[in-house]
């Protein structure tokens, strides 16, 4: 049985101080994980930041009880710095620090014997084999027990903690438990809501590893069981339930159930606490957009105009909080198309949204929403060829059926608005149909 090595690092693509996007998933896959394998260690990567950035009990257990650790300080991620501080306060040795070459470490960390790795202009590993071998050698050398924690190096009489073997063995069992349930949930998502519920029935949700609870929560979203998401929120521990991501997705599910007042209350409270964000404001914009459609269906034109304006403002505020996230921006310009006449701000905002999604696509890490955004922008521009190309990429990137359904709805709204203006839009209906078929297959 190989010793565990805890990996402290960002997830996905992050922007460094020069504006370069860095693909940390590739750094992990091409450098860090194979280095652990070569050093005969079993890597455990830290829980994803989608859980709201909170440090929960299993995180501290990993920091304390994993015999080895690797901390990637590239982009000066505050969560990683905090976790490294905890680790250095507990473990005198067996912690290896790495960072992207060219990064300036903060003054207080300059004495650390960090190991640089090469990145190319696109933020991908430039010399993965050499960097893997160097890290593997450093991990092997850390077995010699040379102190790498500044605390224990500088304060020589600081007491060395004793970590009970029994507790470490129990910790390993908990890690295996988490892995098993994540695998079960992955299989359950392919079978539907009943299969996900069957996995939940095996868990003590309040006391389970938060990483498993979050995976369960998002598995219900994947199978579009909104009621189960809401119910699960009430069963979570208060610490997990209070995280930003859970509160946002709780509101998302409430809105899908038609409980718009509750969804709005949750989201506006989050914005009041933390300020606007592309995700929170995007979800709030969706609440107002649904209310707009309901008012239209009830033939309440004045109320409909009011909700349409609120939706546009919510999406726009989300986009302005982070220009890199095109999702709320494209929703804002799409809804501006529905105003009579078309909102003149649309012409000024469209190029900014187009640039934001182009930058995302250039990184090579685009997801479904990036391709869907390009599709909507092409439809707004009347660009049939561009729309067909974006459609093909979007269909290949669908992860969950509700995503494509959301895009279909937006395209329908654009088409209907243009039909009211007697603008030829039959080709948009063809795209809607293909996208709907793609959603049905997921």
Closest-CA residue to 423 (of 372, 382, 366, 370): 382
Average pLDDT, the chain: 89
How far apart, in whole angstroms, are the C-alpha atoms of residue 271 and residue 254? 17
Categorize the per-residue pLDDT at 213 as very low, low, confident or very high, splitting at 50, 70 and 90.
confident
Angstrom CA distances, 434 to 350, 375, 394, stand at 25, 13, 11
Tokens, residue 262: 């509750």
How far apart, in whole angstroms, are the C-alpha atoms of residue 127 and residue 111? 25
Q: What is the pLDDT of residue 144?
A: 83
Q: What is the pLDDT of residue 428?
A: 96
Tens of pLDDT along 231-290?
999 999 887 888 889 999 999 999 999 999 999 999 999 999 999 999 999 999 999 999
Q: What is the pLDDT of residue 47?
A: 52
Above 90 in pLDDT, residue 154?
no
Q: What is the pLDDT of residue 52?
A: 43
Closest-CA residue to 367 (of 397, 395, 389): 397
Closest-CA residue to 222 (of 430, 368, 435, 322): 368
Categorize the per-residue pLDDT at 167 as very low, low, confident or very high, splitting at 50, 70 and 90.
low
9 close to 49: Cβ distance less than 8 angstroms:
no
Q: Please state which of the ranges 74-88, 406-420, 423-437 shows the lowest mean pLDDT.
A: 74-88
Model's pTM, two decimal places? 0.69
Tokens, residue 226: 């909104």
Of all residues in the chain, what percent carry a pLDDT higher than 90?
63
Report which of residues 81 and 259 the model is more confident about: 259
Above 50 in pLDDT, residue 49?
no
Q: What is the pLDDT of residue 53?
A: 44
**Could you count the other beta carbons within 10 Å of the beta carbon of residue 437?**
11
Q: What is the pLDDT of residue 36?
A: 96
Above 50 in pLDDT, residue 51?
no
Tokens, residue 428: 């948009």
């Amino acid at each position: 049985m190989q010793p565990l090595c805890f990996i402290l690092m960002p997830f996905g693509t992050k922007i460094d101080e020069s504006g370069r996007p860095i693909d940390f998933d590739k750094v992990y896959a091409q450098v860090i994980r194979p280095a652990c394998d070569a050093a005969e260690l079993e890597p455990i990567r830290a829980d994803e930041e989608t859980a709201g950035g909170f440090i929960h009990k299993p995180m501290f257990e990993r920091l304390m009880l994993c015999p080895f650790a690797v901390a990637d300080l590239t982009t000066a991620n505050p969560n990683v710095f905090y976790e490294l501080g905890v680790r250095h306060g507990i473990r005198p040795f067996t912690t290896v620090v790495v960072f992207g070459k060219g990064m300036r470490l903060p003054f207080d960390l300059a004495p650390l014997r960090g190991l640089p790795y090469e990145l190319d202009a696109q933020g991908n590993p430039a010399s993965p084999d050499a960097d893997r071998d160097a890290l593997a050698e450093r991990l092997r050398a850390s077995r010699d027990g040379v102190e790498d924690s500044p605390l224990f190096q500088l304060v020589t009489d600081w007491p060395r903690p004793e970590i009970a073997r029994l507790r470490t063995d129990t910790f390993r069992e908990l890690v295996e438990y988490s892995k098993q349930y994540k695998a079960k949930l992955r299989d359950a998502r392919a079978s539907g809501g009943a299969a996900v519920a069957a996995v939940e029935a095996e868990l003590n949700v309040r006391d389970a590893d938060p990483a498993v609870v979050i995976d369960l929560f998002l598995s219900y979203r994947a199978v579009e069981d909104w009621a189960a998401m809401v119910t699960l929120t009430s069963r979570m521990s208060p610490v997990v339930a209070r995280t930003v991501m859970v509160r946002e997705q709780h509101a998302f599910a409430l809105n899908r159930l038609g409980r718009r007042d509750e969804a709005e209350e949750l989201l506006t409270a989050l914005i009041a606490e933390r300020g606007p964000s592309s995700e929170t404001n995007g979800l709030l914009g969706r609440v107002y957009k649904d209310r707009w459609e309901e008012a239209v269906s009830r033939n309440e034109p004045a109320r409909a105009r009011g909700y349409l304006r609120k939706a546009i403002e919510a999406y726009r505020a989300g986009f302005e909080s982070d220009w890199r996230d095109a999702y709320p921006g494209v929703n804002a310009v799409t809804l501006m198309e529905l105003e009579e006449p078309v909102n003149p701000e649309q012409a000024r905002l469209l190029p900014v949204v187009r640039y934001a999604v182009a930058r995302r696509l250039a990184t090579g890490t685009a997801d479904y929403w990036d391709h869907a955004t390009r599709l909507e922008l092409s439809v707004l521009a009347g660009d049939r060829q561009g729309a067909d190309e974006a459609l093909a990429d979007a269909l290949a990137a669908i992860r969950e059926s509700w995503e494509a359904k959301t895009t279909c709805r937006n395209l329908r709204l654009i088409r209907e608005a243009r039909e009211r203006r007697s603008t030829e839009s039959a080709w948009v209906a063809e795209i809607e149909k293909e996208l709907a078929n793609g959603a049905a297959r997921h």
